[in-house]
Amino acid sequence: MGLFSLLNKSKKTSSDTTPSTPYEAIGGEETVKLIANRFYDIMEQDPMAEELLAIHPQPMDRIRHVFFLYLTMWLGGPNEFEKQFGHPRLRARHLGFAVTPVLKRQWMYCMRKAMLQSVHDITLAEKLLEALDQLAEHMINTEQ
């Protein structure tokens, strides 16, 4: 995945307090929950994400929780996502939707705002956003 290399840290020793995962570095469960909820709040409230919102099932309580679990796993936290849903297979899970470059940009718009509002280490936030942008690019399955 390469995500852990974002921290550019060696393995923790028993006396080291340096976070070993992005999950730990951003503040763990509380911050990940904040990011996931802010992401969907922005999607629901910002006209810039209107098309993205339109393809999401309502109400979004369940999808907020599933996204929180996915982000937790992706960032190196507890892996409840796989325990509950199996391997993410993100591209396969999104094939039922026409994921266009426009929708990808709207997704990243919401994620950028949520990440920058939630993560205090801007350098780490930018690295995470760069990795998420690559992931979102991989989800594009149609040009229209």
pLDDT digits (tens, 9 = 90+) for 39-83: 999 999 999 999 999 999 899 999 999 999 999 999 999 999 999
Domain extents in the chain: 25-139
Output the pLDDT for position 79.
Answer: 97
pLDDT tens-place string over residues 74-114: 999 999 999 999 999 988 888 888 999 999 999 999 999 99
Output the pLDDT for position 139.
Answer: 95
Supply the CATH classification number for the domain 25-139.
1.10.490.10
Compute φ and ψ for 14, nearest 5 degrees. -65, -25
Question: Looking at residues 10-28, what average pLDDT do you find?
Answer: 77
Q: What is the pTM of this model?
A: 0.87
Q: What angle do helix axes 122-139 and 101-118 make, rounded to 10 degrees?
A: 160
As given in the structure block, the two tokens for residue 135 are 């992931």
CA distance 21 to 5: 9
